[in-house]
Amino acid sequence: SLMFFSRAELAAIRTPTQSAQSLAAFGISSVAESAALAGAGEGAILVVPRLARDGVTCAVACASDTGTR
């Protein structure tokens, strides 16, 4: 399913990488990782950190039943 998150929701999530370009464009230092973690839910774990190439950025997270992030 398609999910939408506010800038405030994404900005509140701590991520291992930061992007100056993302910060300048969106005011969020890591859109891909934040969105992956938010989409996977509470306690999600980042499986693949941000990958960026040829204008495309992605990150992969999985749900966890530990309840911590």
Dig out the tokens for 48 from the structure.
């693949």
Q: How far apart are CA 18 and CA 34, in angstroms?
A: 10
Question: b/e per residue, 53-66, with b = 16+ CB within 10 A?
Answer: eeeebebbbeeeee
Q: pLDDT tens across 2-27, in order?
A: 999 999 999 999 999 998 989 999 99
| pLDDT tops 60 at residue 51 | yes
pLDDT, mean of residues 50-56: 93
Q: Say whether pLDDT at 69 is over 70.
A: no
Q: Which amino acid is at 64?
A: S
**pTM of the prediction?**
0.85
